[in-house]
Amino acid sequence: MTLSAVATRYANALADVVTRDSSALRPEAAVAELRAFEAALKSSTELQNALISPAVPASRKRAVVGRIGQALHLSGISRNFLYVLIDHRRTGSLSDVIHSFELIVDERLGYAHAEVTSAGGLTEAQRTSLNQRLETLTGKRLKTRFTVDAGLIGGVIARIGSTVYDGSVRGQLSSMGRRLSAEG
């Protein structure tokens, strides 16, 4: 089983728990809690090594995670999930699990991810308008990430899943060049 398949399996299990109507933890809160734990983990090489090392007993790892969980005010669900990762020696996969978890939860809640690259920074009004147009075009609710690439000259490129909408000047010039070379 590949690492991404392992991460997806654990992420799906957590998503099953937090997307239930009876869940005491909202999916967004679970992501925030796990990201906070991940940040604490990344801030200490010694902690990372201790939680990943097979030489450290699982009971000691659980105790450390329990103390960190208390300090971060983690819910019981998040803490128990981290214990499961410890018990199955998957602590090193935490970042991949969180990433998969976010994608799975977004999909279950009806969101798609969009990457929008523009030639210059967009105002909040432009971002909102563009996001609304893309949602209308795709028929999905979007979580959009905006970046800037001055090489576009002007316009925007939007990637939603495997679909690319190229409204950039660079893309238009490239398309025009291909048509002219095909005619001549």
Whichever domain contains 41, its CATH number is 1.10.520
Q: Which of 107, 135, 163 is the last residue of a domain?
A: 107
Give, as one character, the DSSP assignment of residue 118.
E
- State pLDDT tens for residues 93-119: 999 999 999 989 988 888 888 999 998
Residues 84 and 117 reside in one and the same domain: no
| Residue 2 neighbours by CB under 8 Å, 6+ apart | none
- Mean pLDDT, residues 68-96 taken together: 95
Residues spanned by the domain of 28: 3-107
Position 75 confidence tier, pLDDT thresholds 50, 70, 90 = very high
DSSP three-state, residue 131: helix
pTM, two decimal places: 0.73
pLDDT at 3: 54
Mind listing the pLDDT tens digit for each residue in 16-49?
A: 999 998 999 999 999 999 999 999 999 999 999 9
Same domain, 119 and 65: no
- The answer to which of 18-22, 75-79, 178-182 has the lowest mean pLDDT is 178-182
